[in-house]
């Protein structure tokens, strides 16, 4: 236990900061890209506001293809791309590239499903008043779907947090690397359980924040 307290300022705290940086940066980038793709999927799907079979099939296929890869394999497979963009494949900044690519298809699909759950009668009513596609998307569908989007984004954030720990196993740093290096390889049970507790607190915090925002918006 004494050793654990010695590790706290030197190893554990920097790992927490690195994990939060990976999570925040990947979530922001993944959400921005996923947001654009989700809108495109909603607009171009066969029953959408502006159907386009070619664009829809391409985007839908891309989302499904990337989502089919296990996160750890995708992270490793994207190592050359990460080196090309960042200049290195080691560290939390480098990890943002594969984590963002792993995140945006799932986020796009979740936002798409939230938007498609909006009552069709509300959309038809907006059309009858002469609303444009842009107005229907942003002033009708997103307003109606906001609570659902918040709930789905909470789920996506927790999944992304899990992916950051996987990235730690291949040089990203963070809590995953600490758990692997100090907890598993050095057989330090106290360190391993400490990381488990910290990750559990992070997950519970994300759930609490997501539920609080959901209740406010609902």
- What is the number of residues in the chain? 218
pLDDT exceeds cutoff 90 at 71: no
pLDDT exceeds cutoff 70 at 3: no
pLDDT exceeds cutoff 80 at 10: no
What is the mean predicted confidence (pLDDT) over 199-203? Answer: 93
Do 166 and 143 form a contact (C-beta atoms < 8 A)?
no
pLDDT-derived band of residue 181, with 50, 70 and 90 as boundaries? confident
Do 200 and 128 form a contact (C-beta atoms < 8 A)?
no
- At 1 the pLDDT is 53
Sequence-separated (6 or more) residues with CB below 8 Å from residue 202: 19, 161
Where is pLDDT greater, at 10 or 156?
156
pLDDT-derived band of residue 57, with 50, 70 and 90 as boundaries? very high
Sequence-separated (6 or more) residues with CB below 8 Å from residue 180: 168, 169
* Domains, the chain: 1-217 (1.10.3720.10)
- At 4 the pLDDT is 63
- pLDDT one-digit tens code per residue, 132-176: 888 888 888 988 899 999 999 999 999 999 999 888 877 788 888
- At 22 the pLDDT is 93
Do 141 and 118 form a contact (C-beta atoms < 8 A)?
yes
Q: Residue written as tokens 């979740």?
A: 110
- pLDDT one-digit tens code per residue, 78-116: 989 989 998 888 888 999 999 999 999 999 999 999 999
pLDDT-derived band of residue 43, with 50, 70 and 90 as boundaries? very high
What is the mean predicted confidence (pLDDT) over 180-197? Answer: 79
- At 63 the pLDDT is 94
CA distances for 60 relative to 36, 54, 108, 208, angstroms: 13, 10, 10, 32
Do 45 and 51 form a contact (C-beta atoms < 8 A)?
yes
In percent, the amount of the chain with pLDDT more than 90 equals 47
Do 114 and 152 form a contact (C-beta atoms < 8 A)?
yes
């Amino acid at each position: 236990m004494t050793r654990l307290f010695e590790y706290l300022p030197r190893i554990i705290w920097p790992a927490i900061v690195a994990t939060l940086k990976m999570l925040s940066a990947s979530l922001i980038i993944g959400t921005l890209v996923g947001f654009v793709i989700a809108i495109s999927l909603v607009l171009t799907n066969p029953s959408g506001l502006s159907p386009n079979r070619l664009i829809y099939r391409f985007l839908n296929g891309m989302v499904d293809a990337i989502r089919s890869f296990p996160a750890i394999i995708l992270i490793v497979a994207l190592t050359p791309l990460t080196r090309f963009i960042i200049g290195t494949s080691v560290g939390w900044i480098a990890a943002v590239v594969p984590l963002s690519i792993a995140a945006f298809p799932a986020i796009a699909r979740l936002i798409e499903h939230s938007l498609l759950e909006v009552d069709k009668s509300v959309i038809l009513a907006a059309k009858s008043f002469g609303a444009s596609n842009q107005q229907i998307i942003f002033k009708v569908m997103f307003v109606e779907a906001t609570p659902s989007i918040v709930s789905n984004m909470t789920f996506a954030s927790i999944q992304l947090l899990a992916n950051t720990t996987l990235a730690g196993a291949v040089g990203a740093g963070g809590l995953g690397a600490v758990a692997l290096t100090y907890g598993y390889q050095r057989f330090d049970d106290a360190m391993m359980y400490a990381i488990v507790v910290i990750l559990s607190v992070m997950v519970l915090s994300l759930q609490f924040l997501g539920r609080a925002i959901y209740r406010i918006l609902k």
